[in-house]
Amino acid sequence: MFHKEGFRIITVTFLAVVAVVISADHYISSLWMSKGIQIVALVFLILVLQFFRNPKRTALESKTQIIAPADGKIVIIKEVNEPEYFQDKRLQVSIFMSPLNVHVTRYPATGEIKFSKYHPGKYLVAWHPKSSELNERTTIVIDHQTYGSILYRQIAGAVARRIVNYAKIGDKAIQGHDAGFIKFGSRIDLFLPLGTPLRVGLNERVKGGITIISSS
């Protein structure tokens, strides 16, 4: 199953690979070179297909839990000042998504969307400490009945060139449901109230819509 954001790219890539495979057979006399080009083209198609995969996951909607908004590895857990929306100290939990991870973004909690804003920016590597402030990004805030306001931020990386965000102010976010997509490598930051009990640790790998980040 593939994400709808990848349909156009998958179609174009498939047609291009078919053209390359046929052309290699007809126009390249060297057998090993022809087969080499065809193999490279097929590998590229496989990489595009795996990037846009969208595994079906049934998240258990909970009023007392926050779940991972994306697949990846926990690279930051620390108290920081969040300057854009809260303008005070929050607990930051960051998930790095490599190009091999599923890149679907899922709502970490259920609640009303109070804030949703896109910021153009740079394309520093996603693990750069300033990427949360300088890179292309979107900021979304969900009003949760147990945790209060929860902020998550989609951040483009050095390879990512497009962030898709479905969150609109006033809409209801449903925990675990599709919230967007980031194309080709990125990061997700969660900003939670200070003192939020965590169920994850640094360098732990998480699955979007499945792994519990916090349970109160």
pLDDT bin (cut points 50, 70, 90) of residue 70 is: very high
30 is catalytic: no
Whole-prediction pTM: 0.81
pLDDT in tens, 152-196: 999 886 665 578 899 999 999 999 999 998 876 688 999 999 999
Spatial CB neighbours of 3, under 8 Å, sequence gap ≥ 6: 52, 53, 54, 103, 104, 181
Q: Does residue 79 carry a pLDDT above 60? A: yes
Which amino acid makes up residue 1? M
DSSP category for residue 65: E
Which amino acid makes up residue 8? R
pLDDT in tens, 96-139: 988 788 888 999 999 999 999 998 866 665 555 555 666 788 99
Segment 91-100 mean pLDDT: 90
Q: Residue 49: helix, strand or coil by DSSP?
A: helix
Which amino acid makes up residue 100? L
Task: Report how far apart the first and last C-alpha atoms of the chain are (Å, whole number).
Answer: 34
Taking the C-alpha atoms of residue 98 and residue 53, their distance in angstroms, rounded to an integer, is 14
Where along the chain do its domains lie? 4-51, 65-215
Given the residues 186, 214, 215, 216, the one annotated as active site: 186
Q: What class has domain 65-215? A: mainly beta
> Please, how many CA atoms are within 13 Å of residue 186, restricted to the half-sphere of its CB?
29
